[in-house]
Each structure stands twice: as structure tokens, then as C-alpha cells.
Amino acid sequence: MKSRLKLLPLLLILMFIMSGCLMQKEAAPVLQMDEVEARNYYNIEAELNVEEKTLTAVEEVNYYNNDNVEMKELYFHVYPNAFKTKETAPFLFDDFDNAYKRGFESGYGEIISVSKKDRDGEKLLKYSLSGEGDTILKIELDSPLKPFERMSLRIEFALKIPPAGERFGYGENNFNLGNWYPVAAVYDQKDGWNLDKYYAIGDPFYSDAADYRVSIKTPEEYIVAASGQLVEEVKEDNGKVKRIYEGKALRDFAFVANNNFAVIEEEVDGVKVMSYYYKEDRVRGEEALEYGVKSLRLFSQLYGKYPYPVYSVVETEFPSGMEYPALVYISDKYYKPSYSSDPLIITIVHETAHQWFYGIVGNDQIDEAWLDEGFAAFSETIFIERTFGKKTGQDYYTRSIENSVEEALSSQIIDGELVKSLSEFEDWDDYGPTAYDRGAQMLSELRKTLGEDTFLEIVRTYVEKYKFRIATTSDFIKVCEEVSGKDLTEFFKPWINNIY
């Protein structure tokens, strides 16, 4: 997510008109077979009912046990249930009224049935909901799932979508379907099952990359932006259209449906970059495409090639920006003439950087949020440096990152420790300066210490080594030491003393 905005100086806007970049054509990205094997596969058939604000779906999960433990039960997150009551709705108090402009109404996910499919047919399984707001689905297996084996589950569910301008909710013309289907919880060495609640701070999600085939049925006047690539579109006689999307090694799958979207696209290095915007916001919609293209191209060059065939920048009702794999929500506010271009551009750059940090390389966003937010915030500076010149980038860095950290440290809002769980933060006032700014500051100091070339080689090695997997702070430090050939204990200690 993009938490707060630190605006660029206005004179920058004049410079934005420069540079008509040359298109370099390359073959479309293809995932290697060895990257496809050890993942869950989700096949979801969903129908969005725009009048009732509901969605009905059948989700088949080919579940892969990628840990060396026998599993007697499996856990999934049912995030929509957090929206059931005012108490569990995942917004801090001052965001609440903003999210529910039309007043609060309950949203939730109802599990209708869970069954197992195998050679002998289909068999119903026992399940229960638990955790704060009933956001954890526990499925009891009738026989244990052995390490590195697969099984097929079928989950039938229905959603009530709340009137919220949020990750999950509907607005005037739009339906935001983020974190909407039961998604497998992560089992890891450190925590075992990660069954965290839907915190109001940060992006409290942690998931394994998986393969997806998602069919979405809507009334035909609705245009859909989705995480995957559109592979089939079938118009039905009843005025509905079914669109099928596929995606490999996606960390999550989100979509936005809107009956007032215009769509434009441009190809960059074999990737189709799309801008979805409200029809009346054409000027900013074009700018959104331009900066989607520019940031995707730059980060592909710096961090490693973007591996998916599409990338969608989507205007929608949302307070700021939100990253999903191959799709980002951008606040519709930033498309209005009352705003300068700056928040639109910076938010797109930030969310595009998340495609690498959160998306391609996953991390536990509850326990180590700096690993994606720090990189995304740092990437804003690097984008401005490369696009508008070093000095403009450094001015941006000083103003937005360094000053923010200094202020928060001196008024003891933060203590400087980077690795902290979301449960340890009071609110955005300490979370933002820690995960975003302090994280970006550490990366910037690391770049200064090791030099630009070594630093970028570290980032590329880190992305390549952990792509479609999960990385930790310790993994990152290890890559830093391996690539630089230096013992960096003294460098890292002041930032992350508590993990040494």
C-alpha cells in the first residue's frame, strides 16, 4: 500500500512531458517448468451479482504440501469476514468514515461447503471458522496429507460485498474484489501456520505464489481488470459475459469490475500494460499508462524482468494505492483535476515496485513489513533519480524519507528497529516512518556504503534467488554479504538489532 504522500515539487510536472521512450521488443515472458511444480493451483468460478452486491463461487484448490510435515488439517483465510462488524472492519478510526461514506453495512464470506475430491469421488469435509472476525477457515482432513503430496479440495462460498471504498467493497460504479476468496494460509518454519487477523495497519497478508484460473461472470456492461491474463470471453444470451483469466506464480488474485471504465494499453518489452480509468478521467488515465509503462520498464531493467504477460493500473474507489499481483488499485481522487499529477505518479511508481517486492519475492507482511514497503518506498527515489535527474531524486529523498525518519526518531514515535510485527505498532504514525521510511533509508545507506553497482547486483540476485518464494530479512542480509563479499554485521546491527 502507499500510506501517505510526499509530493514532488511542482516544477517537476513540466519535466514530465519529456522523453518519448523507444520501445524495445522482446519475447513475452515465459515461466520455466521447474518454477511451476511446487505450488497450489486455484480454479475459481465466480459470478458477480451487481444488484444484490453479492458474489457466488466454487473454488477448486489443488493443494500442494510444500513442507516436511504431515498435515491433519489445512487453514485458509476468509478475509471478507473482517468486514462483518464495525469492530473488526480493518480500518483505523479516522479511516472508517472515509471508507463507509454511504454508511456501514456488513460484508462477509459464507462458506457453503467444503469437500475433498479424489479417485473415489467427492466427500464432504468438516470445517470451522475461528480467529478474530471468523477470518480463519480450518478444514479437517479425513486422512493426513503427506509432505510434498497433493490433494484436491472444493470450497463453495458466497460473498456479501460491503459498501466500502476499500480493498474489498463496492462504490458508485465499481466493485473492488481484493482478498475475496478463501486463500491458503502459509505454513513456515518460524511460525508453523500463520493465522494472523486482518490488522487495520499495513497490508496484513502473507501468501504463497500459486497458479490460477479464474472465471468471472458479470453483466456485459461491466469491464473487468484482473490479476491474470484474459484467455477466453463468452457472451451469454442473458446479457452476461463470462471472462476467464489465467496466471502462473501469482501471490494473490484480485479484480475490479466497473461499468464506466475506458481502457488503453501499451506494450513494453513483451508485457501488455493497461490503464483502466473512469471515462471522464481520460487525461490522467493516459498519464497513468505512461507511468505504469515507465516504472515497469525501469524496474525490469534494475531488478530483473517482470515475469507476467500483463500489468494493469486501475482507477478505483480507494484511499491511496494498493498492490496486487499484476494489478494495482489507484485512488480515483488522484485522477481528478483538483490534484496535481504528483500523487498519481508517485503512487503508481510505488505500487509498480511492489510487483517485485511483495509479488515476485514474497515476504511475511505481518512480521517483516519493511521488506516490501521499504523497497517500494526506496524505489520511488530511484525512479525519480533515473527519470528526472539525481538532484531531484535526492531532494525527494531528503524531504520525504530522511526528514520523516528524523522527526519520528527525535519525537520517539519510533525506536529505529525495522523488524517488528504489525501487532507492535500503535497506528500509521509509527508504522509508516518505520516500515516505509526507515526501510528505504537503510537501503539508501546500503547503496551509499557498497556503491550503486554492487547494490543493484544484490537486489537482482535477491529477486532471482527468491522469486515466487518467500524471503526473510536474514535471507536478504545473506545475499548482501555473498554478493559484496563483506561481513555486514556492523552495517545492519543499528537497523535490525533485535534479529541479531
Q: Given the rule CB under 5 A, which residues bind Zn ion?
A: 1, 373, 376
First to last CA, the chain: 28
CA-based R_g, the chain, Å: 22
73 or 429: CB nearest Zn ion: 429
Grid cell at residue 58: 466454487
In the bound complex, what is the minimum distance in angstroms from residue 159's beta carbon to Zn ion?
25
3 or 484: CB nearest Zn ion: 3
In the bound complex, what is the minimum distance in angstroms from residue 306's beta carbon to Zn ion?
17
Distances (CA, A) of 315 to 27, 137, 174, 329: 29, 32, 10, 6
317 or 373: CB nearest Zn ion: 373
261 or 428: CB nearest Zn ion: 428
1 or 5: CB nearest Zn ion: 1
Question: Which amino acid makes up residue 31?
Answer: L
3-state SS of the chain is CECCCCCCCCHHHHHCCCCCCCCCCCCCCCCCHHHCCCCEEEEEEEEEECCCCEEEEEEEEEEECCCCCCEEEEEEECHHHHHCCCCCCCCCHHHHHHHCCCCCCCCEEEEEEEEEEECCEEEECEEEEECCCCCEEEEEEEEEECCCCEEEEEEEEEEECCCCCCCEEECCCEEEECCCCCEECCEECCCEECCCCCCCCCCCCCCCCEEEEEEEEEECCCEEEECCEEEEEEECCCCEEEEEEEEEEECCCCEEEECCEEEEEEEECCEEEEEEEEHHHHHHHHHHHHHHHHHHHHHHHHHCCCCCCEEEEEEECCCCEEEECCEEEEEHHHHCCCCCCHHHHHHHHHHHHHCCECCCEECCCCCCCHHHHHHHHHHHHHHHHHHHCHHHHHHHHHHHHHHHHHHHHHCCCCCCCCCCCHHHCCCHHHHHHHHHHHHHHHHHHHHHHHCHHHHHHHHHHHHHHHCCCECCHHHHHHHHHHHHCCCCHHHHHHHHHHHC
In the bound complex, what is the minimum distance in angstroms from residue 452's beta carbon to Zn ion?
23
65 or 441: CB nearest Zn ion: 441
5 or 479: CB nearest Zn ion: 5
In the bound complex, what is the minimum distance in angstroms from residue 318's beta carbon to Zn ion?
13
In the bound complex, what is the minimum distance in angstroms from residue 286's beta carbon to Zn ion?
24
In the bound complex, what is the minimum distance in angstroms from residue 322's beta carbon to Zn ion?
8
In the complex, which residue's CB is closest to Zn ion?
376
In the bound complex, what is the minimum distance in angstroms from residue 160's beta carbon to Zn ion?
28
CA distance 65 to 236: 38
In the bound complex, what is the minimum distance in angstroms from residue 435's beta carbon to Zn ion?
8
In the bound complex, what is the minimum distance in angstroms from residue 378's beta carbon to Zn ion?
11
In the bound complex, what is the minimum distance in angstroms from residue 320's beta carbon to Zn ion?
9
In the bound complex, what is the minimum distance in angstroms from residue 62's beta carbon to Zn ion?
31
78 or 366: CB nearest Zn ion: 366
184 or 330: CB nearest Zn ion: 330
